Chains A and B, each alone.
Chain A
């Protein structure tokens, strides 16, 4: 492939294309691929060929549609039919009945409320309130074909930055847009860029933080899998703006598909001259390399990430100096997260004012959330800032499944906190979440229902941060361990009220004295669960009960002799062999009883009993 000039690129975009009559989009995100969407893709292609409509129909594999709950997903264009939970063997019917015969396959269409079949994407409640800026190309284009990205307006922003506007104008546009870093802290992006631009030093570097470590969040992964070029384009724009000629994408090794798609995208960009020497004949050079993370949560912190890119242990450093001034190899470095990067080409093309028109006063644009946990429609959701939690949890997410009662939603992962039902009408933006004791974080949003114990949740997150603490500073290394010990004491029913005071004291010390954000925010799950659910903590301490029935040490299983019919189902399932038949001569089949000393509290008997005779307290 020859390297393109600006003229070639424009011609390429304007060239008339013979559009296929029908486009069939198959989700190729990680979740759908693990449900064999690649086989669906192959089968659809083969069936189209077999039916003689191979010429008319184009089948492509796209990035994530976001509606992971209902995957694998197949969408057809132009009629916008939305097929859910498709199996490879359904391909034949889709091709013969729909693509050839012109009739939708009704049984595969998404069913809305009251099992009403929904024939078009726009009527699906999951998508109604969403606005796709970052995910604009996910589920729309084939991420492994640069031509599709270009046809969809890709690399226009780069052309504009290279040939039409000055670096100062780029920064001005970002300033007008009001975009703030989507990695968690929400620092204004234009300021970072401007700092680096102003430093007289070379070389300078551009870094993409794709070390998505928050357990329960996968926005960045899906963006990279569905639209890798948007990140490459944005990084090149930043390079031009601050005067950097090389960039690094630091990505988790646990994301093989995203790595593969990035490698393909980088290869295609280089081949077309959109990356490398003299991009589009502008005289500007820029190249991007990948660096793999190795499973350390702290590497999401920018100074730790930079240490890791340099091949060292990922330990944070005190700031200042900030990376914008002294970053990679002590040179000025602009580091942004995937979602921030993916927004930038749109801001350049549509203008800062357009972006600033979306969202709230201080939080502009859209935000992608990974909505998971006890929620009917789990998936990726992109909404304008200022959307309320209620809209996300109920209108988009469909509420908690199985008729369970909503208890709380956790945002910001291990660095965030819980938000209860009382605050569901809060508009989501950086400030409001902080006021509630949580944070925006990278965008994990985990819904919990009545069966989830808040002490257990705090324990889970503390277990995580203790495990992930790099050990450099004492408040985080020692404080976290102590918090976890106290939480364990509480969930074992061995704590006293003073231990709650200790939890608060240590949390405060960690917030004030830790070196980096990991330690400073690690107590947040404890503080916020204590704030909203202190009663639940006290129930563990005073009554030795776990109201949600989760903390094993506090649960007691027993068999109601009246209800037990002596079928022996529970005894056969008990792994500890601690359920035995009683000697009750009045009954033909005497009831069973549990030896509570030997009981492992595994709950096997509870689920095994069909007569409701096993009680859990």
Chain B
């Protein structure tokens, strides 16, 4: 692997946040959350920079990042579709939604479409079980869904 030693510039918000949390015990996960909030994922150069600033070995950081499903190492699509596969949604056809999205977008779970517009992921329970089956696009919840409604939802975001 190429030796990346160049310092990257962190966003101002992130720098401020690190300043606020530096020295607090157990701060790593909170800082990683902030990184993901700022960049949509955890870019490697940023991880390297933070490892230096917090004086936490990079290996340890990646140990934590890869342990938790929430942290992403790949850049998601512009529109993030999360299909709920909690038990209620699974029983009511959450998997069919994933299959249909694959048909419509041509990409499976945890992949980004070629144009970078969409990515699909399966998530565990968004806590709207009364509305099962559910998916969210960029955090917006669509409930009591039928497969036939998906093209319309995708079109709404494609043209945005």
Contact = CB atoms under 8 A, between A and B. Distances in A.
Interface of A: 30-31, 33-35, 68-69, 71, 212-218, 221, 253-256, 291-297, 308-314, 329, 370, 372-374, 378-379, 410, 413, 444, 446, 448, 452, 460-461, 464, 470, 575, 602
Given A68-B131, A218-B125, A294 B87 contact: no
B129 A311 contact: no
28 contacts: A30-B128, A30-B141, A31-B130, A31-B141, A34-B128, A34-B140, A34-B143, A212-B127, A215-B85, A215-B88, A217-B129, A221-B127, A254-B70, A254-B123, A254-B126, A292-B33, A294-B32, A294-B68, A310-B26, A311-B64, A312-B26, A372-B130, A373-B88, A413-B87, A460-B90, A470-B67, A575-B103, A602-B99
A329 B26 CA distance: 10
Given A294-B70, A311-B28, A314-B67, A254 B87 contact: no
Given A294-B29, A446-B87, A34 B130 contact: no
A311 B128 contact: no
A35 B88 contact: no
A444 B69 contact: no
A254 B127 contact: yes
B139 interface: yes
Query: 10 tightest A-B contacts by CB?
Result: A68-B130, A34-B141, A294-B68, A216-B87, A215-B86, A295-B70, A311-B28, A295-B69, A372-B88, A372-B129
A120 B46 CA distance: 57
A313 B64 contact: yes
Contacts of B125: 213-218, 254
B63 A253 contact: no
A296 B125 CA distance: 12
A329 B25 CA distance: 9
Contacts of A448: 91
Contacts of A575: 103
B27 interface: yes
Interface residues of B, number: 39
Most buried by A among B64, B71, B142: B64
Contacts of B129: 68, 216-218, 370, 372, 378
A378 B144 CA distance: 12
A311 B25 contact: yes
A28 to B, nearest CB: 14
Nearest to A452: B91
Interface string B5-32: 0000000000000000000011111101
B149 to A, nearest CB: 14
B68 A378 contact: no
B132 interface: yes
Contact of B29 (A30, A33, A308, A446): A308
A296 B67 contact: yes
Contact of A313 (B63, B90, B139): B63
Contacts of B64: 311-313
B91 A374 contact: yes
A298 to B, nearest CB: 9
Contacts of A372: 87-88, 129-130, 132
A91 B119 CA distance: 36
B124 interface: yes
Contacts of A446: 87-88, 91
A295 B126 contact: no
A452 B26 CA distance: 44
Nearest to B132: A372
A409 to B, nearest CB: 12
Given A31-B143, A378-B130, A292 B30 contact: yes
Nearest to B134: A34
A311 B26 contact: yes
B135 to A, nearest CB: 11
Contacts of B67: 296, 313-314, 470
B126 A310 contact: no
Contacts of B124: 213, 215, 295, 297, 464
B97 to A, nearest CB: 13
Nearest to A607: B147
Interface in B82-128: 85-88, 90-92, 99, 103, 123-128
A216 B94 CA distance: 13
A215 B68 CA distance: 16
Given A373-B88, A460-B87, A309 B69 contact: no
Interface string B31-65: 01100000000000000000000000000000110
Which of A213, A312, A379 has the most chain B CB atoms closer than 10 A to its own CB? A312
Given A218-B125, A253-B70, A373-B87, A291 B26 contact: yes
Given A294-B33, A295-B69, A310 B88 contact: no
A203 to B, nearest CB: 12
A48 B128 CA distance: 30
Given A256-B139, A294-B32, 15 more contacts: A69-B130, A216-B129, A218-B127, A218-B129, A254-B70, A254-B125, A294-B68, A295-B69, A295-B124, A296-B67, A312-B28, A373-B87, A374-B92, A448-B91, A470-B67
A410 B87 contact: yes
Contacts of B86: 215-216
A413 B92 CA distance: 16
Contacts of A295: 68-70, 124
Contacts of A68: 128-131
Nearest to B67: A313
A464 to B, nearest CB: 7
Nearest to B139: A256
Contacts of A370: 129
Nearest to A446: B87
Contacts of A452: 91
